[in-house]
Structure 1
Amino acid sequence: MTAFATLPLSPALLQGLDALGFRQTTPIQAQALPAILAGQDLIAQAPTGSGKTIAFGLGLLQQLDPALTRTQAVVLCPTRELADQVGKAIRRLAIGIPNLKLLLLCGGIPLGPQLASLAHAPHVVVGTPGRIQELLRKQALDLGAVRTLVLDEADRMLDMGFEEPIREIAGKTPKTRQTLLFSATYPDAIRAIGRSVLRDAVEVTVDSAASPLAIEQWFHEVDTAQKTAALAGLLIEHRPESSVVFCNMRRDTEEVVSELERYGFTPLALHGDMEQRDRDEVLVRFANRSCNVLVASDVAARGLDVKDIGAVINYELPTDPDVYVHRIGRTARAGSSGLALSLCAPHEVPRALALEKQQGTSLRWRRAPLAGKQARGVPQATMATLRIDAGRTDKLRPGDILGALTGVAGLPADSVGKIDVFATRAYVAIRSADADRAVARLREGGIKGRKLRVRRI
């Protein structure tokens, strides 16, 4: 590892790193930053959770001129959730840069406010390829001054059919730009797009601290008809504080949630057919620990940024071994330990053998515990979520909510968990035993003297 202070970074960026408590680089940062700061193009194979956002965030901010009110950096991400995560990280890094304007441009939200925001060009754009392509075609976005183009999780963007928008966006930027491409896997399609948009790129490959060999993995052969009972049995046996269950098909996520509810769990589904508001709500509840089982499809879970996921469970094995590696890496972020459990029906055994070949070591198999219809010891979420129908546009702040809960509502501070404030609504996690009392007291006493609609979800 390298100390950030030894790198040729501006005082403002060193201030941002210091404020965030970052002193030493991760492996991807140590290998990539010298080339990035030297202005070279880069193609890096690096997994989610390895610190790549800080690497390219420092690079694009180092090149940025805050006095020039034109778009100078573009970061493309496969999903709105990942774009939001990346945007927040860059804003935190830029705490020492005055008047920096960063704009999030993603699909799934109205176009009008984004067009209005583009009346004054942002310094940095973070978004999804489809929406940025749409804004370019409307001539609402000018990329003629872009110095840095970042393709984050490029493999997933190609999987989602974004190759044509990526090429169009790249074609609207100056040929002298710096291009940074990050991908968890390195298939031929990535090599092809790399050749077309990068110039003399430095290649960096970082072995993940969360590689399959560093995660405790168990495989459980089970009949298809017994999969849900086996899933419930594994959750009861291992009792992870939070877990992500992966399904291959969107429709399966809802079916698995329904089956788990019959056993007494309180799971939530996350898939691509959901409205954006519903997706946001699910992610809030999972992150604040009021839901301890998230059943997700692969695309929907991209950008999922939740610390300390206790276990990843493959309800079905993916057909692509690289997808398996990406899934289980979510339980071992930043080098922490993790647990990966996989259910394997007889027809999925060839997929398991492909994983064994890729990892170069024998898989560990054991009998799956089957939960009975009257399952006992089902782990419950420790928190509940309250939704408040007011947000940033109503000038509602997290401190206002906390003050009302510990003041008017009379709750102890340790009963209040994570608070998330969106444009028109807010969510607060409350210890489950205190949730109903909190709702009643907030409805009666209000927040900042205002009566607001509050309900438990």
Structure 2
Amino acid sequence: MTKESNSAGQQTAFSTLPLKAELLSTLNTIGFETMTPIQAQSLPAILDGKDVIGQGKTGSGKTAAFGLGLLNRLDVKRFRIQTLVMCPTRELADQVAVEIRTLARGIHNIKVLTLCGGVPMGPQIGSLEHGAHIVVGTPGRIQDHLEKGRLSLENVNTLVLDEADRMLEMGFQPALDAIIQDIPAGRQTLLFSATFPSQIQAISKQIMNSPLMVKVESTHDNNSISQHFYQCEGNRQRMDALLLLLLNHQPESAVVFCNTKRETKDVAACLENEGFSVVALHGDLEQRDRDQMLLKFANKSVTVMVATDVAARGLDIDSLDAVINYHVAFDTEVHVHRVGRTGRAGSQGAAYTLYGSEDGYKIALLEDYLGREIKGEELPDSSVMQALPPEPLMATLHIDGGKKSKVRPGDILGALTGGDDGIQGADVGKIKVTDYRSYVAVKRNVAKKALKKLSAGKIKGRTYRVWQLR
């Protein structure tokens, strides 16, 4: 069964759904009144206990769709793991867990546990011993806990596979197969994916029961995203084109998409040699390095991120000024997904795609999709090569203390702005507090003052080591 929506403006109130009163109250409190198209089409079936396949891009509202479904079904009095949500990356798993906790605010004593690789095993083992209702995690770490007998999935009645296409691309098929074998066959299975390749079709037939297929077209408002195409032959021309675009447009935040890890590393190295503030996001990174790169880019203390599609999936980055496709994506839907990262929330965005004569077939598919002829535009004049690369707006300070030391974002803000020697609140950007360390973005022009203030002063009566991330 398939439902398709071409109406992005479809308006349906959450109050029309048979949701628990606590969930409806929370939705009202956080300002969620009408459903997005993917929610309007999938939630009635999810709440009815049916298996659902949802196809839609990041930002379509799919997390709230399956989050409301699993919370509505949950029996809080049964302190057993009743829901398993699997995601391809730790970042996406963290985002999903945060959104589920937000939706669950009005229901007391719900415990949501994240189980992801790249973090110490000890605290996870301790948390598992205390139990949970909902587990959100990555397949590798979940399989590890299962094999060592620390995790039981025998009471799971809802299984969610989020960004299923990327989990398969990243080689998680064997882990998924092993995990799903440990979950009761009578469960509800919800599968969400931005694309729907043959592998996804095959896995859905194996693990799902007569699923409803919900597809929301990945269309973007032409008023918020302008797409531009430039023909380049060979690597030298391609790199020159990239430099011209970045120097001419001077974006505060730009993502450059490459098709391979090798290209990602090479392009980032070239940009760094030209004086750009840049990070390279690919699959070979240690988790801590990856976390710090994402943090610096998200809080605008780095200007350019060069990334592969797999590495960039699930990133929660707003206010992205530009997306540059260094090479055309292998798949039209992946191109649409890349482009959709700019111009969000009503802001203006721009996407620039570099293509060569070898890309004729991919360009033809894009022309069909976009409903327009693609002609190579003129690149900016070479005189812009004299311009200096844009300086990042912010700098990131690392504080050697976190939640375990009872540090909260408000404590850091107070330490920075308090007293006669404090900086202005408007000069403080994003603050992130993890278990053992904290990060705060400050305007670059007050970074030295902020560093001195935190290093010499105290946060909640304690002195912490503080340094600037480079």
Q: Give TM class, smaller chain.
A: over 0.9
AA at the equivalent of 2:35: T
The AA in structure 1 aligned to 2:86 is: L
Determine if contact 1:383/1:431 at 8 Å carries over to the other structure: yes
In structure 2, relative to structure 1, the CA distance for the partners of 1:371 and 1:242 (3 Å cut) is farther
- The whole-number CA distance in structure 2 between the counterparts of 1:371 and 1:260 is 17
Q: Which residue of 2 aligns with 1:320?
A: 331
The partner residue of 1:222 within 232, 246, 250 is: 232
Bigger mean CA offset, 428-437 vs 222-231: 222-231
Structure 2 partner of 1:427:
439
The answer to whether the Cα contact below 8 Å between 2:22 and 2:106 also exists between their aligned partners in 1 is yes
Change (3 A) 1:441 1:35: same
The answer to whether the 8 A contact 1:232-1:371 is kept is no
Query: SS of the residue aligned with 2:353?
Result: strand
Deviations 1:104-163 (A, max 9, x none): 111122222212211122100111112111211112111111111111111111111222
Is 2:465 aligned against 1:453?
yes
Report the 3-state secondary structure (helix = DSSP H, G, I; strand = E; otherwise coil) of the residue aligned with 1:330: coil
Which of 128, 132, 156 is the aligned partner of 2:138? 128
The alpha-carbon distance between structure 1 residues 48 and 374, as it changes in their structure 2 partners (threshold 3 A), is closer
Q: Structure 2: how far apart are the matches of 1:426 and 1:34? A: 41
C-alpha contact (below 8 Å) 2:223/2:348 kept by paired residues: no
Q: Distance in 2 between matches of 1:19 and 1:276?
A: 35
Cα deviation 1:158-179 (Å, max 9, x = unaligned): 1112222222222211222111
Q: Is the 8 A contact 2:243 2:385 kept in 1?
A: no
Determine the C-alpha separation between the residues in 1 that align with 2:223 and 2:56: 16
Matched ranges for 1:156-167 at <5 A:
156-167=166-177
Match of residue 6 from structure 2:
none
* 1:354 CA displacement: 3.4
Match of 1:173 in 2: 183
User: Residues 80, 241 of structure 1: CA spacing in aligned structure 2 closer, same or farther, 3 A cutoff?
Assistant: same
Moved more, 88-97 or 14-23: 14-23
Structure 1 residue 184 displacement after superposition:
1.0
Matches of 1:364 and 1:104, distance apart in 2:
47
Number of the residue aligned with 1:385: 396
SS in 2 for 1:24: coil
**Normalising to structure 2: TM-score of the pair?**
0.92
Structure 1 position 429, deviation (Å): 0.7
Q: Secondary structure at the match of 1:269?
A: strand
Aligned partner of 2:426: which letter?
D
- Secondary structure at the aligned position of 1:180 is classed as strand
- Structure 1 residues 320 and 209 mapped into 2: Cα distance closer, same or farther (>3 Å)? closer
Q: Is 1:410 aligned with 2:416? A: no
Aligned partner letter, 1:456: Q
Q: What amino acid maps onto 1:412 in structure 2?
A: Q
Contact 1:70/1:121 (8 A) holds in 2? yes
Task: State the Cα distance separating 1:21 from its structure 2 match.
Answer: 1.5
Cα separation, partners in 2 of 1:337 and 1:438, compared to 1, 3 Å = closer
- Alignment deviations for residues 209-228 of structure 1 (CA, whole Å, 9 cap, x no partner): 43899842111112321222
One-letter identity of the residue aligned with 2:154? G
In structure 2, do the counterparts of structure 1 residues 214 and 177 end up closer, same or farther at CA, with 3 Å as the change threshold? farther
Contact 1:230 1:371 in 2 (8 A): no
For 1:98-177, list aligned pairs within 5 A.
98-177=108-187
**Is the deviation greater in 10-19 or in 87-96?**
10-19
> For residues 67-106 of structure 1, what are the structure 2 equivalents within 5 Å?
67-106=77-116
User: Residue in 2 aligned with 1:290?
Assistant: 301
C-alpha separation between the residues in 2 aligned to 1:143 and 1:194?
Answer: 20
Mapped to 2, the partners of 1:335 and 1:204 lie a distance apart of 25
Deviation, 1:368, is 2.2
User: Match of 2:205?
Assistant: 195
The one of 322, 339, 351 aligned to 2:350: 339
Q: CA deviation at 1:336?
A: 5.5
| CA contact 2:409–2:431 (8 Å) conserved in 1 | yes
- How many Å apart are 1:374 and its aligned residue? 5.7
Aligned twin of 2:380: 369
2:47 maps to which residue? Answer: 37
1:257 partnered with 2:247: no
Q: CA deviation at 1:67?
A: 1.1
Question: In the aligned structure 1, how far is the partner of 2:156 from the partner of 2:346?
Answer: 34
Shift of 1:422: 1.1
Q: Is the 8 A contact 2:397 2:441 kept in 1?
A: yes
Return the alpha-carbon distance in structure 2 between the equivalents of residues 399 and 153 of structure 1.
34
* Structure 2: tracts of 5 or more residues without a match: 1-10
Say which is worse superposed, 368-377 or 189-198, in terms of deviation: 368-377
446-455 or 59-68, which moves further after superposition? 446-455
SS of the equivalent of 2:154 reads coil
Q: Which amino acid aligns with 1:400?
A: D
Amino acid of the structure 1 residue aligned with 2:365? A
Q: Distance in 2 between matches of 1:229 and 1:369?
A: 11
Partners of 2:326 and 2:354 within 8 A in 1? yes
Letter in structure 1 aligned against 2:161: L
What letter is aligned with 2:297?
F
Question: 2:277, 2:302 within 8 Å by CA — same for their partners in 1?
Answer: yes
The residue type paired with residue 160 of structure 1 is M
Identity between Structure 1 and Structure 2 (%): 52
Match of 2:310 among 299, 316, 329: 299
Q: Would you say the 8 A contact 1:50–1:333 is kept in 2?
A: no
Q: Could you tell which deviates more after superposition, 342-351 or 238-247?
A: 342-351
Does residue 436 of structure 1 match 2:445?
no
> Partners in 1 of 2:73 and 2:38 — Cα distance?
20
Cα pair 2:55 2:215 within 8 Å, conserved: yes
Unaligned 5+ segments in structure 1 are none
**Alignment partner of 1:136: what SS?**
helix
Query: Could you list the runs of 4 or more consecutive aligned residues of structure 1 that deviate by over 4 angstroms after TM superposition?
Result: 211-214, 334-337, 370-374
Distance 1:364 1:125, change over 3 A: farther
Residue equivalent to 2:36: 26
TM-fit CA distance, 1:335 = 6.5
Q: Deviations over 1:243-271 (max 9, x none)?
A: 11111122322322232233332111111
**AA at the equivalent of 1:170:** I
Matched, 1:46 2:56: yes
SS in 1 for 2:105: helix
